[in-house]
Amino acid sequence: MTGRGLIRRRIDVSGIVQGVGFRPYVYGLAQQLALAGWVENNPSGVRIEIEGPAELVDDFVEQLPVGAPPLAAIEELTVSPAVVEAAPGFRILESRRSGPTAALVAPDVAPCSACLREIRTPQDRRFGYAFTNCTNCGPRYSIMTDIPYDRPNTTMSAFTLCRQCELEYGDPTDRRFHAQPVCCPACGPRLSITVDQAAASIRRGMIVAVKGVGGYHLTTLARDAAAVADLRGRKHREDKPFAIMVGDLRAAEQLCSVTEAEAGLLASPQRPIVLLPRRSDAAVAPTVAPFTTELGLMLPSSPLHQQLLDAVEEPIVCTSGNRSDEPIAFLDDDATNRLAPIADVFLSNDRPIRTRVDDSVYRVVDEQPYPIRRSRGFAPAPLMVPWPAARPVLALGADLKNTIAFHRGRHVFVSHHIGDLDDFATFRSFTDAIAHLGRLLDIEPAVAAFDLHPDYRSSRHGAELDDFDHVAVQHHHAHIASCLADAGRQGPVIGVAFDGLGYGDDGTFWGGEFLLADLVGYDRRAWFAPVPMPGGDQAARQPWRMAAVYLDALGEADRADLAVAARCPRWDDVLQLARTGTRSPLTSSVGRLFDAVASLLGVRDEVSYEGQAAIELEQIADRTETIGYRPVIDEADDRLLIRGDRFVADVVRDLRAGVPEPVIAARFHNGIADAVVATCEAIRDQTGTSTVALSGGVFLNRLVLTAAQRGLRQTGFEVLRHRQVPCNDGGISLGQAVIVAARDRAGERGAIG
């Protein structure tokens, strides 16, 4: 064979192309076109050299991205000429490691249909095998101990491949070629008890701890009120809804109404929990999700869960394996200790989990996914931003719903959900994530970004990192920047950041902000008129305190006709705190205003989880009510102050007039949305900016989100909202990361602020 008529091309592919069956796919395509050359994993992705007749090589280049395996995500594909070697055959070269690894870490994904078929086929050697996986599915991030992604660098390293598995692993034409977690009943992990035993226990009303992909779940029969009540008691979880796992989409539709977009998200390889409107005839114990008209459903996220659901034959509660606010158990000894008082039975196994990865939680808004918690199935796949970071950034997030992020080049790698850092075990997983994810991504950050709040654990940790530059980022600016980055934009926008609390640059607590912002800076144009927050953090746990404060602002706190004062014995003490300013920091938080109204309406005086009062207020709101309380906005210099107390005055007036609570709740929601629109219009008049970004945890409230969005669009605004990371504090790390990178590009100061 001579080089005549042959061409050779070098193809570099970046993106998620390792550990997802990309090389066998390339091999298959080359075989099919009878082309020569090789493929290898390298630090930046996959490199291919392909040689043959020009026409066929062109075909190869054209087909390559089209037929890529389902889990591959190609970001860039470059083709360059290479010198013809005239060597026959196509080979897959061994992984090698040198230089910086820009390769991406794949998330964990649910079983593919081919694997499910095998475990359901009696003649198959993997019949009934709970750890079946292939290059198209299975665990990834949760089992990775190091890079490159090869079996010795996973928690499967202790399991030696049997002869048959080895053949599959080494056969380029096999679906399991180089599938690192490949195994079978003869050589792989084993269950501690059988699926049938676990299923029988669940059917008898017991609580079963199930070791899943990223941690332990606690499961029990969803329609069994006694079992669910037991679980709540033992887990010390009062009201926060439990998620339900269903065997398939048909079972989901028996509990909830499910749109096509929602069904697509439920059945996606990421298998998130999706919040859905509950059907009135849903056979689910009321205590599964009290005080809400929704249910969080998910489809099985592993072959084990699928088998369990097939055996139980009805929906099960599937909630995180922990006690109240602790992190989810994922190490076996720890799970045995902590979950023993809760679970009657353990369905465990001997495949270690390296990294705890919680279930992701989504909603669908306007046919689009709207993340609430981005974790299993999604993390740590990167977000692409249009502008590169000049130096690698580590962003440490916020103290609640913590995530961290690494920014390198045009990628921002937002971590799995880490949680609330005031728990010591969670704080340990925070520091572990900084080290471990940094190592897997092979990033050595030069700068640490963290929240401006001096008392956040994440901030203190960041400030103490040696050999880093340190940048403190204002919380609500980070919210808006995360929304911008999520949309691939850099502003300027009118950023509406509504949340529970964040530390402001004036030392008060913000949470009802309108920032004229870009990625570099911000100018605080408008906010909710500050009120005292008596007792500080305690006010967030006891919404009635905010009711007291707002009534006091109206001169109504001492009136006896409002039930809330009578219900709350420490009413006068709290008023005293607020009036004297003792332990009463000022706040512009919209979250706290929602708390006040929820308490006034008798919805909730004390919460057992963050945001509960506002969530329940939204639940009772009458969807048919179109009136909204008229926002009152004061202007001073060119700053605007929205008067939260005027909303409360309207609430009180309607309460006294006997207007039903659901109608009042709706009018309040509509009024907040109207305040967003009116304030944005005023800022547009002042600044000419006509794009609005909606961020902060309050925008998980669907009524406020959709009403504000509708009103803004009707008045000519372009509206940006979150799609890839949550609007709550889970998105803060992304915002911090892109702000630091943008400041690097802009020099010290940008156009705004």
Among 77, 105, 110, 137, binds Zn ion (CB under 5 A): 137
Local structure of residue 730 (DSSP, 8 states): G
- What burial letters (b/e) apply to 492-531, b meaning 16+ CB within 10 Å? bbbbbbbbbbbbbeeebbbbbbbbbbbbbbbbbbbbbbbb
SS3 state of residue 167:
helix
For Fe ion, give the closer residue by CB, 318 or 734: 734
For Zn ion, give the closer residue by CB, 129 or 427: 129
Nearest-Å Rg of the Cα atoms of the chain is 27
For Fe ion, give the closer residue by CB, 502 or 585: 502
- What burial letters (b/e) apply to 579-594, b meaning 16+ CB within 10 Å? eeeeebbbbbbbbbbb
With CB cut-offs between 5 and 8 Å by kind, which of Fe ion, Zn ion, none does residue 729 bind? Fe ion
Local structure of residue 135 (DSSP, 8 states): T
SS3 state of residue 368:
strand
Burial of residue 238 (CB within 10 Å: 0-12, 13-18, 19+) is middle
With CB cut-offs between 5 and 8 Å by kind, which of Zn ion, Fe ion, none does residue 137 bind? Zn ion
For Zn ion, give the closer residue by CB, 115 or 443: 115
With CB cut-offs between 5 and 8 Å by kind, which of Fe ion, Zn ion, none does residue 499 bind? Fe ion
With CB cut-offs between 5 and 8 Å by kind, which of Fe ion, Zn ion, none does residue 184 bind? Zn ion
Task: Please name every residue paired with 411 in a beta bridge, in sequence order, or none if there are none.
Answer: 384, 408
With CB cut-offs between 5 and 8 Å by kind, which of Zn ion, Fe ion, none does residue 112 bind? Zn ion
Pick the piece of the chain touching Zn ion (CB under 5 A) from 161-169, 200-208, 271-279, 621-629: 161-169
516 — alpha (psi -120 to 50), left (phi > 0) or beta? Answer: beta
Pick the piece of the chain touching Zn ion (CB under 5 A) from 129-137, 219-227, 545-553, 665-673: 129-137
Among 18, 136, 319, 689, binds Zn ion (CB under 5 A): 136
| Minimum gap (Å) between residue 493 Cβ and Zn ion | 42
Distance CA(739)–CA(734), nearest Å, equals 9
Asked whether position 115 contacts Zn ion by CB under 5 A, the answer is yes
For Fe ion, give the closer residue by CB, 401 or 545: 401
With CB cut-offs between 5 and 8 Å by kind, which of Fe ion, Zn ion, none does residue 187 bind? Zn ion
- Strand order of the β-sheet with 316-320 is 345-347, 208-211, 216-221, 316-320, 243-245, 294-298, 273-277, 361-365, 368-373
For Zn ion, give the closer residue by CB, 2 or 123: 123
| Minimum gap (Å) between residue 140 Cβ and Zn ion | 12
Residues at the interface with Fe ion (CB under 5 A): 499, 502, 729
For Fe ion, give the closer residue by CB, 513 or 729: 729
| Minimum gap (Å) between residue 696 Cβ and Fe ion | 5
With CB cut-offs between 5 and 8 Å by kind, which of Fe ion, Zn ion, none does residue 68 bind? none
Q: CA torsion sign, 375 to 379 to 385 to 391?
A: positive
CB 491 within 8 A of CB 718: no
Asked whether position 72 contacts Zn ion by CB under 5 A, the answer is no
For Zn ion, give the closer residue by CB, 87 or 186: 186
| Minimum gap (Å) between residue 543 Cβ and Fe ion | 18
| Minimum gap (Å) between residue 14 Cβ and Zn ion | 24
Pick the piece of the chain touching Zn ion (CB under 5 A) from 111-119, 234-242, 542-550, 587-595: 111-119
Q: Are strands 691-695 and 718-720 parallel, antiparallel or unpaired?
A: parallel
CB 337 within 8 A of CB 343: no
Alpha helix ranges (H) inside 515-640:
537-541, 543-553, 563-567, 571-580, 590-600, 612-620
With CB cut-offs between 5 and 8 Å by kind, which of Fe ion, Zn ion, none does residue 224 bind? none
| Minimum gap (Å) between residue 344 Cβ and Zn ion | 32
Tokens at 73, concatenated: 């995500």
Task: Please name every residue paired with 718 in a beta bridge, in sequence order, or none if there are none.
Answer: 691
| Minimum gap (Å) between residue 456 Cβ and Fe ion | 11
For Zn ion, give the closer residue by CB, 150 or 610: 150
| Minimum gap (Å) between residue 112 Cβ and Zn ion | 3
Tokens at 123, concatenated: 């003649």
Distance CA(134)–CA(176), nearest Å, equals 5
SS3 state of residue 45:
strand
With CB cut-offs between 5 and 8 Å by kind, which of Zn ion, Fe ion, none does residue 165 bind? Zn ion
| Minimum gap (Å) between residue 308 Cβ and Zn ion | 18
Please list every residue from 175 through 234 that binds Zn ion, using CB under 5 A: 184, 186-187
Asked whether position 112 contacts Zn ion by CB under 5 A, the answer is yes
Q: How many residues at the interface with Zn ion, by CB under 5 A?
A: 10
Our CA angle for 412, 302, 299, nearest 5°, is 85
Tokens at 484, concatenated: 């911008």
For Fe ion, give the closer residue by CB, 513 or 654: 513
Among 104, 165, 222, 712, binds Zn ion (CB under 5 A): 165
Asked whether position 134 contacts Zn ion by CB under 5 A, the answer is yes
Residue nearest Fe ion, Cβ-based: 499
For Fe ion, give the closer residue by CB, 502 or 504: 502
| Minimum gap (Å) between residue 663 Cβ and Zn ion | 52
Helix (H) / strand (E) containing 706? helix 702-714
Residues within the interface to Zn ion (CB under 5 A): 112, 115, 134, 136-137, 162, 165, 184, 186-187
